[in-house]
Amino acid sequence: MTIARWLNDDCMNRMTKDLRFLLKMIRASDGELELALRGKYFNLYYRGNSLAKVVFLASGRYRVEISSEFCRDSLACTDPRFSALASESVGNKTVLVLPPDLLHPFFQGKHLRDFRSRIKKRSYSEEITYEQMVITDNIGRDDLLIIDRQVTDSVCPGRMDVLALRQVNGEQYRFLILEVKLGNNPELKGEVAEQLERYVSHINAHFDSYRDCYERVYFQKKQLGLIDSPSHRAIEIVKDVEARVVVIGYSGMARSATNHLVSAHPSVEVQQFSYLL
């Protein structure tokens, strides 16, 4: 398949058995913590920034990868239980291979709070911050569900910011690709429209694979308690694929750029937000 982000049966069983505590913490975070399924691993995000990658190993253990910048001198990585297991690998990632009984001690509340404070101190793209706001502010809707972020596959021409599902009727949903841009982003002059057109064409060309993938992802996230709304146990994803540019701030610059964008690409939908008082 072109894209396969759901967990296999073994990984799902291990998730519910060994990582139940983490699922509970994610549910209680009001969207600040997010878990993204990735086949044989998952990514744990904090405010849109990668906190950890956790790989299900065939041995029953777990490979945990964390940015060395966040891990170095942290409460978790200086704990004697884990410091002996840590090694710095290529790409400035600290890697630990943990048995199931050490997952909860490693990802305990005080350690996650420490990692989160370190992430906050790092300067990130404004667009990641606003992307996260769009995601968290749309939690709990029946008519719109954000199902994944930073989406790519084996042949995708780029990486989609946000992939959502928009309700068509009852349990039927349609893909909605979202690109979040600040109003001063030069890509608004036309590049973002070309991006979206490529992504729409790509999903349409591989629709069966994307449909099967995200129907399964929805079902698994529902089983894991990561989706409250919609209330459907399962959904059906139907054609056609939609796309939208979400523009935030810098209203003067944004207005000029989006007018030009819509004129040159009339099929592109633009939604603009401002800080007007």
- Which pLDDT tens digit goes with each residue over 34-69? 999 999 999 999 988 889 999 999 999 999 999 998
DSSP structure class, residue 41: E
Instruction: Supply the pLDDT for residue 123.
Output: 61
Task: Between 31 and 250, name the one with better pLDDT.
Answer: 31
The first and second tokens of residue 277, run together, are 């008082």
Per-residue confidence at 249, pLDDT binned at 50, 70, 90? Answer: confident
Task: Between 227 and 131, name the one with better pLDDT.
Answer: 227
Interaxial angle between packed helices 9-18 and 207-223, expressed in degrees from 0 to 180 and rounded to the nearest 10: 30
- Which pLDDT tens digit goes with each residue over 83-134? 888 887 777 899 999 999 999 999 999 999 999 999 988 766 778 888 888 8
Phi, psi dihedrals of residue 201, rounded to the nearest 5°: -60, -40
Instruction: Supply the pLDDT for residue 13.
Output: 97
**Average confidence (pLDDT) over 180-207:** 90
**Average confidence (pLDDT) over 231-256:** 91
Query: What is the SS3 assignment for 47?
Result: coil
CA-to-CA distance for 117 and 24, rounded, in angstroms?
20
Instruction: Supply the pLDDT for residue 105.
Output: 97
**Average confidence (pLDDT) over 2-30:** 96
Domains of the chain: 9-124 (3.90.1150), 128-273 (no CATH)
CA dihedral 1, 33, 231, 11 (to 10 degrees): 40
Instruction: Supply the pLDDT for residue 81.
Output: 92
Instruction: Supply the pLDDT for residue 15.
Output: 97
Q: Mean pLDDT over all residues of the chain?
A: 92
Per-residue confidence at 274, pLDDT binned at 50, 70, 90? Answer: confident
Instruction: Supply the pLDDT for residue 37.
Output: 95
Residue 182: its H or E element: strand 172-182
Query: What is the SS3 assignment for 75?
Result: coil
